[in-house]
Structure 1
Amino acid sequence: MMGNWWRLFAPTRAPATPAPRQTAFERNAPNAIEASHGTVSGDEVEEHFHRFILNLPPLVGDSAAPAREQALLQRLKEFCDGGRFDVRTLPRMPTVLPQLMRAMKSDNLNGAQLANLIRRDPVLVGEVMRVTGSIAYRTAHPVGSLQHAVVLLGQIGLRHVVTSYVMKPILMASAGASGQLVGQRLWDHAERCAHAAVFLSKGQCDPFEAYLAGLVGYSGLGAVARLLEKDLGVTLSTSSPAFIAGCAQVATQLTVQVGHHWDLPPPVLDALIEHADAARNAMTLPMSRVLHAAQRLAMHQLLAEHRLVDAEADYTDGSITQFPSMLLARCQQDLRKNFATQ
């Protein structure tokens, strides 16, 4: 099935959005990571990103905090390693999605057959029609039917629309009923990460699977925020870098559990598993490397939009040097073009 699928992966400027209001974290944190000689490191960006998502301010001279944090991290690990975290409490993907995913891998299905599958979910129908009615898909004749919209999108474009439609509410809900801020930040990062993963996937791995890995790669972080707030009943006024790193490690393990729960495609799940073990073993799968680089670049972009890192500073990260520096620079520029606020 042919179509204008390339439009979804071509650089298109996102509509301008107003600058976000500052939260308590942003007011108490430094306005931006201090750049040394015009550069910021990947470790600095990653730590600041996790603080931003979890809304945790830095440690400010509380000598008792590390001991409390160590005990809390142990509780988090026990909660997750012992299987006490019930992934069934997370939203499941709609039942129509696995059918659509299988169908869209087949070259034998036509637009009418795909349209019949999509009709089973009225909200998805509305999303497909909304996207094809946008400026990017504007044609000489209005899109008058679902089948016309499906053909216009093409297989890859349809995968993109379907996955975004499914994943946004799931990520928004993963942090719990009171975690709307965390959920929105997770989704903002997921969008940027998926975009960067497609950009970096050429010659490395399947672009759609890279897109999906980018969307779900930090889904466990929402679960950590939920555990801290609800199940563990913890509110921290300060937090050390070691505590942030511990939360990040727990989040990667939960992401793997969530990936199994969602029955993600094997290549995506394998990349999540290897990425969760990256601290002990080198990443060998191309998709793991694509995911890691995309996550780091998306972190930098999101923090820059919230003025928590200098957008103009050079971003250095030794862990993503498997990619040519010029390719990483072009990807970073593409993220700025598509997501930078005005």
Structure 2
Amino acid sequence: MKRWLHRLLGMGTASVPKAEMTEAPQMQPGPKGFPATRIRDDALSASTLHAAVDIDHLYFAWMLGMEASVSEPNDMERRLLRALERISSTDTQAVTALVPRMPAVIPMLLHSLRDKDVSNARLSEQVARDPVLLAALLKQVNSSYYRRNEAITNIEQALALLGQNNLRLLVASVAFKPLFNMQSGHFIAPAAPRLSALSTATAIACRALATRRQVGPFEAFLATLLQNVGLIVALRIMDQVYEGGELQSLSFCSSLAIEARRLSLRVGREWQFPPAVLQALAEQDSAAAADSPVAQLLRLADRLGKLHVLVLNGQLAAEEAEEFAAVEGGADGIACYRQLTPREEEA
């Protein structure tokens, strides 16, 4: 376990302090490349493991298909980061040009949903204008979650069952989904489906956390989607300037996460997202107790989503993921993490 941690963290042969060692029962090895957390006479407690291992490092290394084995970026990685920093800090037009436009019906629907008195008849008329949105609506209301004996085929009946709050979430999800269907590009082609899986898992975690913490789910849900849009833009920028070479550093993973959030903020401002959403994104790097409830929910939902995707793809042992979830979010973290797998079809 120590050797794996040192490789992951770029620590060479540094030793783990004896004070951090703890006795624990023998466990079977985890998935390939990721040993189980507890090993007799050479184990780390859950809190120590959590402090040592950055979930972003695990997720980004897998998303990019890289063997993160060193701490410092190479020349190619520095070149990519310079391009990301330049565009994220100065060039709003270049950023928004890399994001497909939303279908016209989406902002129209979201505007209508701000009106508490809007009728289902009006919403039905708008939903019917977008076949993709209509199909998604009918699929959701006919899923096993609602346990209906007969299929719903009428839009107004579907809207009555779903409710306006859930319709907001569905509209936002459908609006963002095409962004994760990129098919070409050295970085984006393999990463986009992995980002799509993360977006789905994070959306489910967001809904579960919003219920437990009594936070408005729509703004938190928008924030989770917008954060991943920044990663899509970052990957497209990287594809534009890529001239060959291999990613290999943990430092690059950390910097990519920061630049992606900056890109998300630029897109969010251009799309005139609610201030609470932009504030939540801006607070992601602080992890302060004074952060807004939406920011805290977004941070935890993102971590739970990454844990879930890593476990599903054999990159992390399930026992390790549950320990991370508990340390990250306490009772909320472990309860919401356990909801991800059985409810994945609802996203």
Asked if these proteins are the same fold (TM beyond 0.5), I'd say yes
Shift of 1:338: 3.0
Check the 8 A contact 1:57/1:239 in 2, yes or no.
Answer: yes
* Deviation at residue 278 of structure 1 after TM alignment: 2.3
SS in 2 for 1:126: helix
1:251: which partner in 2? 260
Provide the secondary structure at the position in 1 that maps to 2:140.
helix
Change (3 A) 1:292 1:145: same
Task: Give the deviation of 1:294 after TM superposition.
Answer: 0.8
1:209 alignment partner, SS class: helix
Secondary structure in structure 2 of the residue aligned to 1:242: helix
Q: Partners in 2 of 1:75 and 1:87 — Cα distance?
A: 15
Q: Secondary structure at the match of 1:315?
A: helix
In structure 1, what is the equivalent of residue 128 of structure 2?
119
- Which one-letter code corresponds to 1:134 in the other structure? S
Q: Which amino acid aligns with 2:336?
A: C
CA deviations on 1:9-36 (whole Å, 9 max, x unpaired) are: xxxxxxxxxxxxxxxxxxxx96226635
Matched, 1:294 2:301: yes
Report the alpha carbon displacement of residue 114 of structure 1 after superposing the two structures with TM.
0.9
Separation in 2, partners of 1:60, 1:178 = 20
Q: What is the CA deviation profile of residues 128-171 of structure 1, one whole-angstrom value per residue up to 9, with x for unaligned ones?
A: 22323333345455424222222221112222222222111123
Give matches, 1:80-229, under 5 Å.
80-83=88-91, 85-137=94-146, 139-173=148-182, 179-201=188-210, 202-229=212-239
Match of 2:259, SS state, is helix
| Cα distance in 2, alignment partners of residues 145 and 164 from structure 1 | 21
Find the aligned partners of 2:170 and 2:56 in 1 and give their Cα distance: 28
Match of 2:33 among 31, 34, 58: 31
Counterpart-to-counterpart distance in 1, 2:325 and 2:151: 47
Counterparts of 2:325 and 2:153, CA distance in 1: 48
Percent identity between the two aligned chains: 26
Which letter does structure 1 place at the counterpart of 2:261? T
CA shift, 1:79, in A, is: 3.2
Unaligned runs of 5+ residues in structure 1 are 1-28
Q: Does the 8 A contact of 1:90 with 1:173 survive in 2? A: no
Find the aligned partners of 1:256 and 1:331 in 2 and give their Cα distance: 27
Per-residue deviation at 1:68? Answer: 4.5
Residues 1:318 and 1:126: Cα distance change in structure 2 (over 3 Å): closer
The equivalent position to 2:323 in structure 1, one of 315, 321, 329, is 315
2:338 maps to which residue?
A: 333
SS in 1 for 2:323: strand
Find the aligned partners of 2:35 and 2:60 in 1 and give their Cα distance.
14
Q: Which has the higher contact order (CA 8 A, sep 6+)?
A: 1
Letter in 2 for 1:106: D
Q: Distance between the aligned counterparts of 1:80 and 1:138, measured in 2? A: 46
1:41 partnered with 2:50: yes
- Name the aligned partner's letter for residue 191 of structure 1: T
Gaps of 5+ in 2: 1-30, 38-42
User: For the residues of structure 2 that align with 1:176 and 1:263, how far apart are their CA atoms?
Assistant: 29
Q: In structure 2, what is the Cα distance between the partners aligned to 1:339 and 1:138?
A: 16
Q: TM-score, normalised by structure 1?
A: 0.78
* Aligned positions, number: 304
Contact 2:103 2:175 in 1 (8 A): yes
Residues 89 and 225 of structure 1, relative CA distance in 2, 3 Å threshold: closer
**1:73 aligned partner, one-letter code:** L
Alpha-carbon distance in 1 for matches of 2:337, 2:304? 6
Confirm or deny: 8 A CA contact 1:198 1:211 kept in the other structure: yes
Q: Which has the larger radius of gyration?
A: 2
TM-score of the pair, normalised by structure 2: 0.77
Q: Residue type matched to 1:290 in 2?
A: L
SS at match of 1:249: helix
1:33 to 1:160, Cα distance in 2 relative to 1, 3 A: farther
Which range is displaced more, 31-40 or 81-90?
A: 31-40
